[in-house]
Every structure is written in C-alpha cells, then in structure tokens.
Structure 1
Amino acid sequence: MREIDAVSRVVDANVNRFRDGLRVIEDTLRFARGNRLYAPVRRLRGDFARLFAGRRGMLVASRASDKDPGRASGQKKHADIDELFRANFARCSEALRVLEEYARLRGANLPSTAELKKIRFRLYGIEKKSLSAKK
C-alpha cells in the first residue's frame, strides 16, 4: 500500500470515529439528558466537518473497510448511559490526537495541527461542563 493511501485510511477512520462519537454525545445531551449543551456540540461537529469538507472525496476513495483486520473485533458493552457518554468523549479525543499526529507528517494534506488542537480543547471544555452538569 502506498503511504498516501495508508495515511488517507488512517485519517478517514479517525474522522469517522470523531464524528460518530460526537453524534453520540450530542444525542445523549439532547434526548437522554435534555441538556442544552447539545448546541455547542452541534457547532463543534459542523466546524470539524468544514475542516475536512474538501477532503471527503479523497478519504472515501481510500476507504477499504472490507480489508480492515479490526472490523470484526467486538466492542465493549457499556454498563449505563453515563459510561457510554464518557467513553464517547474518550473516543473523540483519541481520534483528534491521531489526526493531530498525522497532520504533522510532511506533505500531509490535512488541517493544521493548530486547528485540530483548537477543536480538541473545545471538546475538553464541553466534556467538563457536561460531566459536571446535573443529569
């Protein structure tokens, strides 16, 4: 596999991981907790999508999920909504860290590490507020 394809696959997986995790957080805040903090999560999701908007075609073209050796691995069951909620914050921050590291590669056609870091710190702020808010 060419390096550019490998980078694109890693980036695609982590963009999807972040978006999926953020959607779980947004829906949990909005529907399970009735918490208005879902609105900043929605804005964060939109801002993140804009960072990668011009790259979606390239990322989707590099996707080879049928060849992913980890696709069949089982996922942990969560004890309750709180555990699921916390796990998705961790999922999002881990995905952002991977994207930041890959953005440091020479010639990477990715948003800057500064842009990704800004998104990550916004996520941390939302996490702190939402975990300390009443359910």
Structure 2
Amino acid sequence: MRDVYRVIDANLNRLREGLRVLEEIARFILEDAEMTAKIKDTRHRVTAVIGELPGGMLELIQARDAAGDVGAISWTPGENTRGDLISLTAANFKRAQEAARVLEEFCKLIATQAAREFKKIRFEIYEIELDMLKKMS
C-alpha cells in the first residue's frame, strides 16, 4: 500500500504545482480576478481531498522517497525550455490534468469518494484551460 500512497503523493504535488503556475498566469499575466479565484479554489479543493484519504497527509509524507525516485533525474527536451507563454500554459494544464487522472485511478484503491472528486477536478481543469487559452490567443 505504501507504493500507492507514494504515487498519490507525487501526483498531488504535480497537480498543485501545475495549478499554482496557472494561477500565477491568470493573476499576473491575464490579470483576471475571476479566473485566478477559480484556479485557487480548485487548488484548495485538491488539498481538502487529501484529508479524505485514510491516514491523510502524514501517510503520504511517510510514503515519500524523493531520493529513491528513479524518475527524478529523467528529462525530456521539452521540459528544459518553453517556446512562449502559451506553450508554458499548455504544459501546465496537461501536467495538472494528467496528475488528476492518476489520482482518480489510484484513489479508487483506497478512497472512492476522493476518486470521484479528482474526476470532477479534472473536468473543471479542462474548462479552465479552454477559457484561459481563448483569452491568451
């Protein structure tokens, strides 16, 4: 079960990090208060779902093994550069969406209500992506 928590921990971090980058774009680049609030709310909902997991944050942190993560040093060429603000935005939307999907799937093993919440969050991120990229183009 520790491995399941390790996957969940890594993807919670990935999801929150991606949302945080998007929140900063909405806040400082687009100067869109409504979109900023929507992304911030989504990020805080992700944190709230952690409380629904058996063992909560403590269980996740105890499962963490950053030093032993075999994927920590792997990089793709696209990770080192971003061509423009739209590619940076798109990359962070994909990061958040993929992490939400992983969370949805792995939470089915330990907390089905959390799995349903991550599915809702994933679809909300799809909608925010559409809105944000329209405003940027």
**After the TM superposition, which segments of 4 or more aligned residues of structure 1 sit over 6 Å from their partners?**
none
Counterpart amino acid of 1:8?
A: Y
**1:40 alignment counterpart:** 38
**2:85 alignment counterpart:** 81
**1:16 alignment counterpart:** 13
Question: Is the CA contact (8 Å cut-off) linking 1:8 and 1:59 kept in structure 2?
Answer: yes
Counterpart amino acid of 1:98?
A: V
Question: Is the CA contact (8 Å cut-off) linking 1:52 and 1:111 kept in structure 2?
Answer: no
C-alpha distance in 1 between matches for 2:7 and 2:46: 17
Q: Could you give the per-residue CA deviations for residues 28-48 of structure 1, whole angstroms, max 9, x where no partner exists?
A: 111122122111000111111
C-alpha distance in 2 between matches for 1:127 and 1:113: 21
Q: Could you give the per-residue CA deviations for residues 6-30 of structure 1, whole angstroms, max 9, x where no partner exists?
A: 0010000000000000000000111
**2:96 alignment counterpart:** 92
Q: CA 1:134–1:81 in structure 2 vs 1: closer, same or farther (change >3 Å)?
A: closer
Tell me the TM-score normalised to structure 1 length: 0.89
Once the two structures are TM-superposed, the CA of residue 134 in structure 1 deviates from its matched residue by: 4.5
Q: CA 1:99–1:92 in structure 2 vs 1: closer, same or farther (change >3 Å)?
A: same
Question: Is the CA contact (8 Å cut-off) linking 2:26 and 2:36 kept in structure 1?
Answer: yes
Q: CA 1:6–1:110 in structure 2 vs 1: closer, same or farther (change >3 Å)?
A: farther
Q: CA 1:134–1:65 in structure 2 vs 1: closer, same or farther (change >3 Å)?
A: closer
Q: Could you give the per-residue CA deviations for residues 69-105 of structure 1, whole angstroms, max 9, x where no partner exists?
A: 1111233311111111110000000001111111222
C-alpha distance in 2 between matches for 1:20 and 1:134: 21
Once the two structures are TM-superposed, the CA of residue 119 in structure 1 deviates from its matched residue by: 0.9
Q: CA 1:134–1:84 in structure 2 vs 1: closer, same or farther (change >3 Å)?
A: closer
Equivalenced residue count is 130
Stretches of structure 1 lacking an aligned partner (at least 5 in a row): none
Q: CA 1:130–1:35 in structure 2 vs 1: closer, same or farther (change >3 Å)?
A: same
Q: Which of 124, 129, 133 is the matching residue for 2:126? A: 124
RMSD of equivalent CA atoms = 1.6
